[in-house]
Amino acid sequence: MATKRKVIITSAVTGAIHTPSMSPHLPVTPDEIAEAAIGAARAGAAIVHMHARDPKDGRPSQEPKHFEPILTKLKANTDAVINITTGGSPHMTVEERMLPASTFKPELASLNMGSMNFGLYPMLERFSEFQHEWEREGLEKSRDLVFKNTFADIENILTIGNANGTRFEFECYDISHLNNLAHFHARGLARGPLFVQSVFGLLGGIGGHPEDLMHMRRTADRLLGDNYQWSILGAGKNQMPLATIGAAMGSHVRVGLEDSLWIGPGQLAASNAEQVTRIRTILEALNFDIATPDEAREMLQLKGQNNVGF
C-alpha cells in the first residue's frame, strides 16, 4: 500500500519581530505564551519554536527566568518538541541569546546561519500607535543594525548544543547561509539530518518569490545532498503560499505569529492554532499526513523529551 509523506508543522509562537501593539492576539505573558503553544500543538504542530517576553512590557527576553514557567507548563501539557531560540532578538548580544538553550538543553534550538541586515523599520509605515516606546525604537534602530552571527558565534553555539545533545533548526535566510551550513557540516560540527529552515521575505535576506524558493532548494540539494530535511518559513504574506509550494515540493513547513500576524489580507490571525489549522487543512488536501511529535523526533533524530534540562 502506498504511504503518504509526513510533513512536520512547526509553530513559532511569539518571536521578537512583532510587538504587543501590532496584534491583541500576540501572546506576551508566560501563561499566554504557553497556552498559545499548547493550542498550536493540539492543532497539529509537532514542534513549537519558543521565544519569551518580559511580562512587564512585552519586550523580547532571553532571561532564563522568563523561559522557565513556559517550558515547565509545556512539558506538563504537551509532547510537542520544544525548540528554543538562540536568535532572541537582533538587538541582543550573542551571549544573551545563547543563555536559554544552554541552560535548558532542549531537544532542538534555532541557529541563524550568517550575519545580516534585519530591516523591520518598514513596519513603521503600517503601525503608528504603540503602547510602549521600546516598540517604535526597536523598529527604528533596525535601519542600522547587523544581526550578528559570525563563524565564531555559530561555532560556539554548535559546540554547546553538541555537548548537550541539542540539535538545530538551521535558519537560512539566503543562499550564503547554505554555504555556511555546508562548511560546518563538512567540519563535523553541524550534524545530520540537518533540519534546514529556509526563511523567505525578510528585508536583508532572500525575497519571497517562488523563484527564490526554487533557488534555495536547488542549492540545498547540491550542497547538502541527502543529509537534510527541508522546511519553509515565509514571512508575512508569504507564509501560506510558500509553505504550500514548498510542501508540494517535499518540504516541512513553519507557521506562527512570530513570522506573520495574519490569516488573510487585512485579517489578523486569532491565534497560532488558527494558522496551524489553516496549513494543516492545505496539507491534508494535498494528501500529506501531519507528522506527530514522535515522528518528527524520529525524522530529526532528536534525543527525546526526557533528556532535556527542564
> Of the two residues 74 and 223, which places its CB atom closer to Zn ion in the complex?
74
What is the Cα–Cα distance from 123 to 125, expressed in whole angstroms?
5
Q: Which stretch binds Zn ion (CB under 5 A): 1-9, 21-29, 67-75, 84-92?
A: 84-92
Q: Is residue 272 near ligand KMH by the rule CB under 6 A?
A: no
Number of residues engaging ligand KMH in binding (CB under 6 A): 13
- Which residues contact residue 307 at a Cβ distance below 8 angstroms, ignoring those fewer than 6 apart? 105, 107, 165
Q: Is the peptide bond before 241 cis (omega within 30 degrees of 0)?
A: no
Q: Does 30 bind ligand KMH (CB under 6 A)?
A: no
CB-closest chain residue to Zn ion: 85
- Choice from 9, 14, 15, 116 touching ligand KMH (CB under 6 A): 15
Shortest Cβ 171–ligand KMH spacing (Å): 5
Binding mask 181-200 for ligand KMH (x = CB under 6 A): ------------------x-
Residue number with CB closer to ligand KMH (27 or 87): 87
Show the binding pattern over residues 133-172: x = contacts ligand KMH (CB under 6 A), - = does not.
--------------------------------------x-
12/288 with CB nearer ligand KMH: 12
Nearest distance from residue 67's CB to ligand KMH, in Å? 13
Q: How many CB atoms lie within 10 A of CB 189?
A: 15
Residue of closest CB approach to ligand KMH: 87
From the CB of 154, what's the least distance to ligand KMH, in Å?
Answer: 12
Is residue 305 part of the contact set for Zn ion (CB under 5 A)?
Answer: no
201 counts as binding ligand KMH under rule CB under 6 A: no
> SS3 for the chain, per residue?
CCCCCEECEEEECCCCCCCHHHCCCCCCCHHHHHHHHHHHHHHCCCEEEECEECCCCCCEECCHHHHHHHHHHHHHHCCCEEEECCCCCCCCCHHHHHHHHHHHCCCEEEEECCCEECCCHHHHHCCCCCCCHHHHHHHHHHHHCEECCCHHHHHHHHHHHHHHCCEEEEEECCHHHHHHHHHHHHCCCCCCCEEEEEEECCECECCCCHHHHHHHHHHHHHHHCCCEEEEEEECHHHHHHHHHHHHHCCCEEEECCCCCCEEECCEECCCHHHHHHHHHHHHHHCCCEECCHHHHHHHHCCCCHHHCCC
For residue 259, the partner it binds in Zn ion, ligand KMH, none, with Cβ less than 5 to 8 A by kind, is ligand KMH
User: What CA–CA distance (Å, rounded) separates 164 from 55?
Assistant: 29
**To the nearest whole angstrom, how small is the minimum distance from the Cβ of residue 88 to ligand KMH?**
7
17 binds ligand KMH (CB under 6 A): yes
Letters for 62-101 (x = contact with ligand KMH by CB under 6 A, - = none) are -----------------------xxx--------------
Of 14, 62, 78, 85, the residue at the interface with Zn ion (CB under 5 A) is 85
Residues that bind ligand KMH (CB under 6 A): 12, 15, 17, 85-87, 110, 112, 171, 199, 202, 258-259
